[in-house]
Structure 1
Amino acid sequence: MTVFCGIDWAENHHDVAMVDEAGQLLAKRRISDDAAGYRLLLDLLAEHGDTPEQPIPVAIETSRGLLVAALRTGKRPVFAINPLAAARYRDRHGVSRKKSDPGDALVLANILRTDMHAHRPLPADTDQARAIAVLARAQQDAVWNRQQLVNQVRSLLREYYPAALDAFLGKQFGLARAEARTVLAAAPTPASAAQLSLPQLRAALRRAGRQRGIDAEAERLRQVFRADYARQPSAVEDAMGHQLVALVGQLNASCVAADELAEAVEAQFRQHPDAEIILSFPGLGVQLGARVLAEIGDDRTRFADARGLKAYAGSAPVTRASGKKRHVGRRFIKNNRLITAGFLWAFSALRASPGADAHYRRRREHGDWHAQAQRHLLNRMIGQLHHCLQTRQLFDEDHAFTSSSTDLAVAA
């Protein structure tokens, strides 16, 4: 007898439902969100025929967490059903719009019973690839958080401290530089900055890790801080200085977290068997390559062909046709992390690969906007990456960009 399982998960408990191939409810149970509850779930699956050779497929509305980790032991297929899709399936069983946790578990089980072929199970990535995904996504989040804090600091400085903007925004990394953060923490107001002496500035630069040109940089900063700028009232300026100190403290912690996570990503990524192939592609460094690997995984059966990977990344166009109307445009449903890394990859490849640069310029001459040309280049390079990973080959510039007629194919 074929059995299907659906789980409606929550924070403290989970509802489980099992049905057979005819839709008959075989069992339902509410389990706790702890080790005892997970053991109860596995025992319940075993009672209804779950074996290592023929595991019972499970549908759930999330792809992460301890419950999913417990379910993914062995070769059990776990299907992460989109909550919006599950809501649409719920309407098939009744028009009253009633909703309950046990009912949702039953709906999820019936999704597998009727349409399991239309849904994709979680990829069978290795533990190493999943660990890289955790670190790469955390590092990317830390970078985004750092940039948000930099934007907040910049916005605050514009209101009362324009000298700091003139002093650091023209430098690489701007306000995220260790020198900028150290000086702003030592002098959070224009009044305190104007009183800084050359020895104090030199000491601050050394604390930030600067080793060359300290005297010249200290002299430049003193001139900037003592120039004539508009000022807020003293009390308001002091209050904003306290706010700046708090933001700089958060920014320091964010910068440290991003750097430490970057080191962890590099250590894990370089040990992966796919790292050498990914790093052979122009424009892909360790951090960007780790982000790409984190999103595509190392399950070679996950995508049937390169088109599936391109659609998942959002680089392939999508066609919407109805009657005489036909529109070819970009995809809105995609892996947002992968497409973000992909655009950085395509942009970096323009300088690292003559073929990629020529491809991009031909697309621009063909009439594409910058984003369209970049997406077209990314679409082609993702196809090349899929081929190289499947065949275990390194990127070859001479074979990657050979046909100009292919470059002029119409794509969004």
Structure 2
Amino acid sequence: MSIADPESKETPELNVIQDATCTFCGCVCDDIDLTVDVAESKIVEAKRACVLGKAWFFNHHIEDRPEALVDGEPATYDVAIERAADILSNAVMPVTYGLSDTTCEAQRVAVAITDWIGGTVDTTTSVCHGPSGIAFQGVGEVTCSLGEIKNRADYLIYWGGNPAESHPRHFTKYSLMPKGDFVPRGRKDRTAVLVDVRKTKSAKAADIFLQIKPRSDFEVAWALRALCRGVPVDPSIEQKTGISLEQLTEIMDGMKRARFGAILFGMGLTMTRGKHLNSEAILALARDMNQHSRWVAKPMRGHGNVTGADNVVSWSTGYPFGVHLGRGYPRFNPGEFTTTDLLARGEADAALIIASDPMSNFCQAARDHLATIPSVVLDPKLSETAKVATVAFTTATYGINVPGTVYRMDDVPIPLRPAFESPYKSDFEILKAIEKRIRDRQLAAAAG
């Protein structure tokens, strides 16, 4: 029965989950109060959630689907798990991909399965902030938590991102607006700069908007590095970047005066010309600025637990994504072992896709090959990838139906408090069952 039915004489049974965690984006806000209609298994209120979070919670409903599909036909979990183990055990070059919208517990098992079968493990990082992952290894990262930015940062640079639309609560909860210990007046104590190739809604929140020419992020960042170090910059920089030397000097003067500054960069920086070199320039700029005051640089991550995926794969293998485990030790080589490249070249012969939909966003060559090889997909929805899968598991939704751990974009682990149970199994349960089947077969083969 709907809580919104004014003619109903019965009062629906409501349950309130306090301090629930929203897993829609990398902000992973953990202060959401969810009101659940128990009879309908539906969330009817999400206090403090942003517009994206409310859509995430309110649009969630338990779909009437089979536990799994095998070759397009309904099947039980046991049958599907057995078939999935067959596919992955017999593959020569299997690839595990996705992981950004599931719990760290499930991610850990996915890495273990990939290790047992000698495959390649990759996350959605390879098609978003992968260049940043490469840059971290080359330059390092001056980092902090979002709590430190909230309480300390008096100068903020948003580069290549549009938080007003992609991370609506970032401004109000973590960075620009909130009052902090060392910025007691909140917004009035902060200077905000937006660097982008176009004027987005975030520009309205900034004090200074630098509209740079497309594909000139590296030059702007490198010019700021030069000014930071006292190296002369030629005025012709304006012809390349669209930003005058006077404007860049003004920005640098403000950065040097700041007590605590943060550069928050998005995919508008990482996925344009230069890619990992752009990220390296930003990270190096933050490092150089510490000669004058305290500065940090953080990527603005998109999916709810993509940061967790990077952490789990990193502490399991030593590398964040695109890791080949087929030789008994990890090898990292973006472009060779990243999923879209493996598929586009026709090298992968099986795929384990977890909480991701590559058929909706990979290049055509990769999608064409994925459709021809056996694949195992775990997803709460019948995604485009699940539609072409050999085995498609229907799973519970993490954060709403499933507990566990996720990582916020600043690498802080956050526990999940589910709102209500799902009749479907979690990614973790299914992956553990697949791992057990694979190990039983390997041990039996070794003993026989």
Which category of TM-score, normalised to the shorter sequence, fits these structures?
A: under 0.3
TM-score with structure 2 setting the length: 0.23
Q: Point out which structure has higher relative CO (alpha carbons under 8 A, 6+ apart).
A: 2
TM-score with structure 1 setting the length: 0.25
Q: Greater CA radius of gyration, 1 or 2?
A: 1
**Which structure features the higher share of strand residues?**
2
**Which structure features the higher share of helix residues?**
1
